[in-house]
Amino acid sequence: MRFVDLAATSAAVAATSGRRAKVELLAEALRNLAPEELVAGSGYLAGELRQRQTGVGYASLRELPPAAEQPTLTVAGVDAAIAELAEVRGPGSQQRRRELLAALFGAATVEERRLLLGLFSGELRQGAQAGLLAEAIARAAEVPLPAVRRALLLAGDLKTVAVAALTGGSGALTGFALRVGRPLAPMLAQSAASVEEALTAVGLPAVVDVKLDGIRIQVHRSGDDIAVFTRSLDEITSRVPEVVAAVRSLPARELVLDGEAIALDASGRPRPFQETASRAATRGARRAVGASGEPGSGDGADAAEGGTRSFGAAPVAPSTAGSVRAVGPVDLSEVPRIGTSGTAPAEIPGPDRPVAAAPSVLAAANTSGGVVLTPYFFDILHLDGVDLLDAPGHERWAALARTVSAAQLVERITVDTVEQASEAFAAAVDAGHEGIVVKAPEAAYDAGRRGAAWIKVKPRHTLDLVVLAVEWGNGRRKGWLSNLHLGARDPETGGFVMLGKTFKGLTDELLRWQTERFQELAVERGDWVVRVRPEQVVEIAFDGVQSSPRYPGGVALRFARVLRYRHDKSAAEADTIDTVRAIHAGRRPD
């Protein structure tokens, strides 16, 4: 398939408002892809590259050769070129990468370059989200939409599902199931502004979990193999020996656990998020699922003789406490609690608060040379041959409590009133955690979906900050001033301290307005950054403050996003760096 035709589809989808029309455009493009182009082509339509790391950043895209007059690129050719870019390593790699990038963009027409820039920058916002692409796959392959959605949830990768549907039809889609060793997209939570709003959506009674400020982990165990995956399905097993040690101690043969890993201080309070994140950084990590949908298929990993899957972790000591049961319906209340006998308790047990890491976890952490990560689990998706995805939450959580010790469970209570949930929220925040997740006890595990069964509630921070500079946008935002440099007022010097950047929350209307506004305030115009007089105040929402050596104030905002411009405030009324540091320290700003 010509790459220019795919670029035309992308542009047409972006320009089309109707859902049905978007789906038909995408479906037609999928039909026209050759089998060997399906992985890359479906990824391009979703706005993503097949290659996880390319080494191409914004700076690499600033100086490009003139566009080609005539289209010559194919989808397969572009994919091969990007794959070659991703493989560049060692001495002279920067120069070689520039040469390859110049060759690719030099062969691309204006329309093709627009798509390439969006793919490399990650800013291809054409309205082709996963839901639309699932419909397009179903239409192109002439298979039932529910079958595509289910396969997508279990595979966790749209490209894999597209290949299966378009080459194997409905029969291939039925082959997707929870497989121990192959990660699946985790269930996600919607957000609510208040506890009351969350309970209105979920209903009462409800289960309330403490929301830890850690990294999401999905842990798979099959016999002597253990693997740990991130929310984005990257494998980080070798980076988190504490998690492996914790799961090694569990008396079960097959497990899939969902949870968080977090760095705690000596008192049990969370350490800054970046300390946790640095231990599990996924740079160079192995992608869990390749094009074939098999674990490790992207890196040549082979299954061991006899069908045992190699997860990439050091073998764990064999356990004789668990037994493999046949897959099929099961009454989880009849599964005996580990180390006891009898049926599940009526209440779902959980620890009073996160406790110190177990000695085996601490010992494992010593091998990493870094901060200790303590794992806590809040769900179980598979137990000794039984898939639990479709079981109600209260049954899964009871099975979890029977399998995992209380010290490794996220704090959890059942609430019958708003007052009880509000008290749990206040206690979680006071303990230094992110907030709570309110859950419907009857809901199944909706893999890969951000449904209404889980609702997260976090304190919402806002600051009035000053715009110090703005960057020109890429892709769909090309020609508009987009990325804002944000500063807090320094009362000691009278200047401003930069806290980070954001382009989140900006509508087209705001982009148009701020492009005019900041050109009026410009004091220095660069090809990439326009520095402005520090006059315009903007209200910014964010999830927290983290330490950052990158900025002169030593702190940066997490997940900053624009709420509105404050035309009623002058820069002298903006929030101060002292207020930001108070939030970082966990104190209430004065």
Which residues are known catalytic residues? 211
Structure tokens at 284: 């160079």
Confirm or deny that 253 is annotated as ligand binding.
no
**If you write DSSP's letter for every residue of 405-458 in order, what string do you get?**
-GGGBPPEEEESSHHHHHHHHHHHHHTT--EEEEE-TT----TT-EEEEEEEE-
3 state SS for 13-64: HHHCCCHHHHHHHHHHHHHHCCHHHHHHHHHHHCCCCCCCCCCCCCHHHCCC
Sole residue written with tokens 């542009």: 11
The radius of gyration of the chain's CA atoms, rounded to the nearest angstrom, is: 25
Tokens representing 408? 């490794």
| Residues belonging to the chain | 590
> Is the bond preceding residue 552 a cis peptide, omega within 30 degrees?
no
Long-range contacts of the stretch 516-520 (C-beta < 8 A, 24+) = 518/467, 518/470, 518/481, 519/481
Task: State how far the Cα of 556 lies from the Cα of 550, in Å rounded to an integer.
Answer: 8
Partner residues linked to 208 by β-bridges: 413, 438
The reply to whether 216 sits in an annotated binding site is: yes
Give the H/E segment covering residue 100: helix 93-106
Q: Which of 372, 384, 376 is nearest to 350 (CA)?
A: 376
Roughly how many angstroms between the first and final C-alpha of the chain, as a whole number?
61
CA distance 436 to 268: 17
Question: Is residue 378 annotated as involved in ligand binding?
Answer: yes
Known binder of ligand: residue 231?
A: yes
* 344 backbone dihedrals φ, ψ, rounded to 5°: -70, 145
Determine which helix (DSSP H) or strand (DSSP E) holds 524, and give its type and residue range: strand 522-525
> What are the structure tokens assigned to 172, written together?
């291939």
Residue 500 to residue 410: CA distance in whole angstroms: 32
What residues are designated binding site for ATP?
Answer: 209, 216, 231, 260, 378, 450, 456
Q: Which residues are annotated as a binding site?
A: 209, 216, 231, 260, 378, 450, 456
